[in-house]
Amino acid sequence: MSDMSSVKDERRRSQRYPANLVVEMEEGKGVTRNVSASGVYVETSERPTKEGPVHFTLILEHARPTPIRLACVGSVVRVEPNDNGFGVALTITSHGIESSSP
């Protein structure tokens, strides 16, 4: 069992941090469960259907003076059905500040 957990840990490039951020995706909205420098895990009611690059926006609601919209491009790593819809692991391959207003 320890061999499997070490393989799983090696696949993670960055430390993960618990965070609840609103995420806007092409399929709808979701909320992050955790974030890292290289990706996010999002809980959403809509299953992602797009293959290839995925465009999504993280809303940093508590930034001042106004929320910050972090536009990201990445890809779907995995989709897991859960009680409220789906858990979606997304990589982040590029990002930039979209705007500082909602």
pLDDT 10s digits, 1-57: 444 444 444 456 689 999 999 999 988 999 999 999 999 999 999 998 877 899 999
Is 10 inside any structural domain? Answer: no
For residue 53, being part of any structural domain is answered with: yes
Q: Please give the DSSP secondary-structure letter assigned to residue 26.
A: T
Q: Residue 38 is which amino acid?
A: S
Residue 50 located in a structural domain = yes
Residue 92, classed as helix, strand or coil, is coil
In a domain, 3, yes or no: no
Q: What total number of domains does the chain contain?
A: 1
Q: Which residues are CB-neighbours of 94 under 8 A, at least 6 positions away?
A: 72, 73, 74
pLDDT score at 92: 96
Max intra-chain CA distance, the chain = 48
Q: What is the CATH number of the domain that holds 69?
A: 2.40.10.220
Q: pLDDT of 68-90, one tens digit each?
A: 999 999 999 999 999 999 999 99
Strands 17-18 and 22-25: unpaired
Q: DSSP secondary-structure letter at 49?
A: -
